[in-house]
Amino acid sequence: MSDIKSIKRIASRLLKCGITKVWIDPERINEAKKAITREDVRKLIKQGIVKKIKEDKEKNPEAKYKAMQKKRGRRRGPGSRKGAKKAREGKKKKWMLKIRAQRKLLRTLRDKGVIDTSTYRKVYRLSKGGMFRSKKHLLTYLEENELLREKK
């Protein structure tokens, strides 16, 4: 019995599962008992004498429904929230999303020739300083200060 235990142990490591999930063919158990090394167990797995028992996923329709709703953006109201605003989405992540969007917009405007390079540099530094709330705010600033050029 101990030799089967060792085979199961080795197989569980090779198959990346628990010992209870290893199945040895009862009709060919004598062949399995001869295995000593990891290489022997690998051969048994290849032959199909040793297999991994497929794990049944938990069938929980309520949890499935809940997950689907969350995926759609439901169940996020004030009653479901725990933790501070910044705990749910960090300051840094918020800043990164905002600044990347603004810089991308500035790049496209410069490449299209809507703003010149000196304006690009000035506004880039302003956005780095956190002057603009959003892309829309950045565009309104450019329009108000007449920094936009007409395309030729």
CATH number at residue 139: 1.10.1200.60
**Cβ atoms < 10 Å from Cβ of 84:** 7
Our count of domains for the chain comes to: 2
Burial code (b: 16+ CB inside 10 Å, e: under 16) for 104-138 equals ebbeebbeeebbeeebbeebeeebeeeebeeeeeb
Regarding whether 112 and 59 lie in a shared domain, the answer is: no
6-49 pLDDT per residue, tens: 999 999 999 999 999 999 999 999 999 999 999 999 999 999 99
How large is the C-alpha radius of gyration of the chain? 31
> Is the model's pTM score more than 0.75?
no
Its domain, for residue 109, covers 89-144
- pLDDT band for 85, please (50, 70, 90 cuts): confident
- Domain holding 27: CATH number? 1.10.1650.10
Distance from C-alpha of 115 to C-alpha of 26, rounded to nearest angstrom: 77
Q: Where residue 88 falls among pLDDT bands split at 50, 70, 90? A: confident
The tens digit of pLDDT for each residue in 60-70 reads: 899 999 999 99
Long-range contacts of 91-96 (CB under 8 A, 24+ apart): 95/130
Is 151 contained in some domain?
no
Under the banding of pLDDT at 50, 70 and 90, the label for residue 3 is: confident
Residue 149 falls within a domain, yes or no?
Answer: no
Question: Which among 23, 42, 76 is the end of a domain?
Answer: 76
Residue 84 maps to a domain: no
Q: Is residue 133 part of a domain?
A: yes
